[in-house]
Structure 1
Amino acid sequence: MIGPFVNGASVIVGSLTGAAAGNRISENLRTKMPLVFGVSSMGLGIAMIVKVKYLPAVILSLLVGTMIGELLHLEDAIMKLAGKTRGFIDRIAKPADANLPHDEFLSKFVAILVLFCASGTGIFGAMNEGMTGDSSLLMVKSFLDLFTAAIFATALGFSVATLAVPQFIIQSSLFLLATRILPMTSPVMIADFSACGGLIMVATGFRIAGIKPFAVANMLPALFLAMPVTALWVRFFVH
């Protein structure tokens, strides 16, 4: 298991570097780079979407999954947790930008939480490595996360480093469960799962770039529905 460790380390190193540098990193770089991160997230998302096999099944998963997320108020729960995390970290170390509005902090924190912990690339990459030993997807994600963490930590402070914990837990769990999960799937199910994750990645990119504040956390249940819905779609609608 290499990928989850490397990805977690990249978040920690990037976060600590960015938080320590703080305002010493130019305002122009701090302002412009999130746009690049947003575009990178959208690009990864599009690359995953084009693998789709049954678009109706993916859209249905996204719609139902988002409805579940909205009913459960997942984003609100994550924002409350993020607020508590900020308070805990601020008591330990001075925040990188003490003047950052609380609402802006929460919005950015949730966006990078999804990007780090719940992206289709990370989830599928961990599963793929567990089954095949190929860690290349998580390595690519690690490069993106390293620079993303550094730039966002200049404003969000050391709180960003805490995201390495849930990220590692999620990826290592999927790695360990991959031998049981993937044998029950098909290439079609995996492709549609990837496409569903890609749509969420695109929404995350819009949010990171400050274009449209999608409630991406509420879309996450769709990832758990994508494979079962595709399997049912193939069974009842494909002849």
Structure 2
Amino acid sequence: MVLLGALVNGLCIVIGTFIGLFFTKIPERYKETIMHGIGLAVVLIGLQMAFQTEKIVVVLLSILSGAIIGEALHLEKKLNLLGTWIEKKSNTKGETSISQGFITASLIFVIGAMAVIGALDSGLRGDHEVLITKSIIDGFVALVLTTTLGFGVVFSTVPVVLYEGTIALLATQIENWLPDTFLQGFIVEMTATGGLLIVAIGLNLLKLTKIRVANLLPSIITVGFVLVIYDFFIK
């Protein structure tokens, strides 16, 4: 089922929200330790994906070209500015916290490499591991957000499922446009490149680094172009 990962993601957000309603305050030490545990698991998932590469040069060039494009476009900065703008727009007079909870949670859950990579994996390979891992993270984050922003967090389920589901469904059609041999190579190298981005997310969760992962997202696209050039010159 192509949409399984997206649906599980939405369900975990709903569960996390309802559990969060029963808590008014979570001790900081619990949150910190749990996030560290999640970060370690995310690093492991990313490494497993990254080690699948058969052409390390393709992964390297994809990351480098993606980083250049991402930095040139200031993707991380623009996404942060978008979030700030939307939050400011939502803080109108007399408005309840439902809007703020919905917007804040949606930005956190939708914007990120795991959503894109996970949805592509679901569509291309029928592998929902990344999205299910993301679901667990989002469920915990939803729990924490609900304790401060309220029930509005649950409504973020809608954009999350639509966003990830759309990417997954579009990914299933890629095989109709590309030769099978190239597609298989693309899936392997895209998975490996995405795995490195997931490792970066895990390191950020562990607070070991402050990698601008959003600025590396174009590498998921450039891997296709790099692979074409690589195969042309090698073959």
Provide TM-score, normalisation by structure 2: 0.77
1:224 and 1:234, CA in 2 relative to 1: closer, same or farther beyond 3 A? same
Q: Which runs of 5+ in 1 are unaligned?
A: 97-104
State the SS of the aligned residue for 2:199: helix
More off after superposition, 213-222 vs 171-180:
171-180
Give the corresponding residue for 1:99. none
Q: Which runs of 5+ in 2 are unaligned?
A: none
Identity among equivalent pairs (%)? 26
Give the corresponding residue for 1:196. 193
Q: 2:143 aligns with which of 130, 150, 165?
A: 150
Give the corresponding residue for 2:69. 68
User: In structure 1, what residue type is equivalent to 2:11?
Assistant: A
> Is the Cα–Cα contact under 8 Å of residues 17 and 142 in structure 2 kept in the other structure?
yes
Give the corresponding residue for 1:114. 112
State the SS of the aligned residue for 2:111: helix
Distance 1:115 1:209 in 2: 17
More off after superposition, 7-16 vs 33-42:
7-16
1:67 and 1:201, CA in 2 relative to 1: closer, same or farther beyond 3 A? same
> Is the Cα–Cα contact under 8 Å of residues 127 and 175 in structure 1 kept in the other structure?
yes
User: In structure 1, what residue type is equivalent to 2:115?
Assistant: C
1:149 and 1:226, CA in 2 relative to 1: closer, same or farther beyond 3 A? farther
Give the corresponding residue for 1:226. 223
Equivalent residue pairs, number: 223
1:205 and 1:152, CA in 2 relative to 1: closer, same or farther beyond 3 A? farther
Q: Per-residue deviation at 1:216? A: 0.8
Q: Per-residue deviation at 1:73? A: 0.9
> Is the Cα–Cα contact under 8 Å of residues 17 and 143 in structure 2 kept in the other structure?
yes
Distance 1:80 1:158 in 2: 25
Kindly provide the CA deviation profile for residues 143-172 of structure 1, in whole angstroms up to 9, marking residues without a partner as x: 343234434655676786565455323322
Matches within 5 A, 1:79-118: 79-87=80-88, 88=90, 91-93=95-97, 113-114=111-112, 117-118=115-116
Q: Per-residue deviation at 1:58? A: 0.9
Q: Per-residue deviation at 1:115? A: 5.3
1:33 and 1:173, CA in 2 relative to 1: closer, same or farther beyond 3 A? same
Provide TM-score, normalisation by structure 1: 0.76
State the SS of the aligned residue for 1:53: coil
Matched, 1:210 2:207: yes
Give the corresponding residue for 1:77. 78
> Is the Cα–Cα contact under 8 Å of residues 50 and 195 in structure 2 kept in the other structure?
yes
Matched, 1:52 2:53: yes
Give the corresponding residue for 2:161. 168
